[in-house]
Amino acid sequence: MKINLLFPLVFSLTSVSLLAQANEYHYLNTKTGWFKFESPLVSMRLAGSNDKSVEEVATNSQAFRALGWYNRDTLEVEEWTMNGEGNYIDHLCSDGYIVSSLYYFNDGDDSIEQFRCRKLLKQSAQISNGNVNILTLKSNGVTNSYDLQNNRTIGCGDNEYIVGFQYKDDGDDYITKIYCKNYSYVQ
């Protein structure tokens, strides 16, 4: 089930350039509640050989941050609930949105049960050598799926970010696939 939330949009200027991918790792099995990320999600790791729940996620700490793509308080948000919605259902962010928050239930199933998507800015500005460059969000339009359960650790491809999940909602609930989409800012 998808819920749309709307916050005022803020346009920002910044003087740094995009950097190579730098991952930060976050453990989810520490509490029940929302985990909000300052950077887009790029990979997930399962807890163990017999445990199918996601224990750790990685974010790309440099992606889009230099362009002011993300301000937790000011962008449009979608919220998805996977638990109770059916077995092997695909839950995907709308076009132009990426996953930014996960709700982890740390009791019983130990699973991600909800997530939120943030809308990316359609344009951003970058200051370089005193010049202002207007950059536009681009995507190749392809959403790729990666089988999490057969790989134990899986990540998105280059310039891809997690945009949704396939969820098993029967017995032991868990994510079976991640969906990734390519986004970048170009001049």
Instruction: Report pLDDT digits (tens) over 82-109.
Output: 988 888 989 999 998 899 899 998 877 6
Determine, yes or no, domain membership for 102: yes
Classify 19 as helix, strand or coil. Answer: coil
Domain region containing 65: 23-120+141-182
Residue 103 domain-assigned? yes
Helix (H) or strand (E) holding 139, with range, is none
Strands 174-182 and 143-147: antiparallel
pLDDT recorded at residue 69? 63
In a domain, 49, yes or no: yes
SS3 at position 184: strand
How do strand 77-81 and strand 131-138 relate by DSSP bridges?
unpaired
- Inside any domain, residue 175: yes
Is the confidence at residue 163, as pLDDT, over 80?
A: yes
Question: What's the whole-model pTM score?
Answer: 0.80
At 156 the pLDDT is 92
Q: How many domains does the chain have?
A: 1
> Residue 13: which pLDDT band, with cuts at 50, 70 and 90?
very low
Q: What is the distance between the alpha carbons of residues 99 and 42, in angstroms, rounded to a whole number? A: 10
Short-list 79, 64, 2, 46, CA closest to 178:
46
Tell whether 5 is covered by a domain.
no
User: 136 in a domain, yes or no?
Assistant: no
Task: Round to whole Å and give the CA distance between 168 and 60.
Answer: 26
Buried b or exposed e, range 6-20, using 16+ CB within 10 angstroms: eeeeeeeeeeeeeee
Average pLDDT over residues 44-65: 80
Q: What is the mean pLDDT of residues 23-49?
A: 85
| 18 domain-assigned | no
| Residue 9 pLDDT exceeds 60 | no
| Residue 147: inside a domain | yes
β-pair partners for 33: 104
